[in-house]
Amino acid sequence: MSRRFHVVCHECAFEGLYEDQSVAESQRDAHAVSSGHRMSLRDISDRNVPGPTQ
**CB of residue 50 to Zn ion, shortest distance in Å:** 30
**Closer of 9 and 41 to Zn ion (Cβ):** 9
CA distance 15 to 53: 29
CA distance 26 to 14: 14
**CB of residue 14 to Zn ion, shortest distance in Å:** 4
**CB of residue 12 to Zn ion, shortest distance in Å:** 3
Question: Where along the sequence are the contacts to Zn ion (CB under 5 A)?
Answer: 9, 11-12, 14, 35, 37
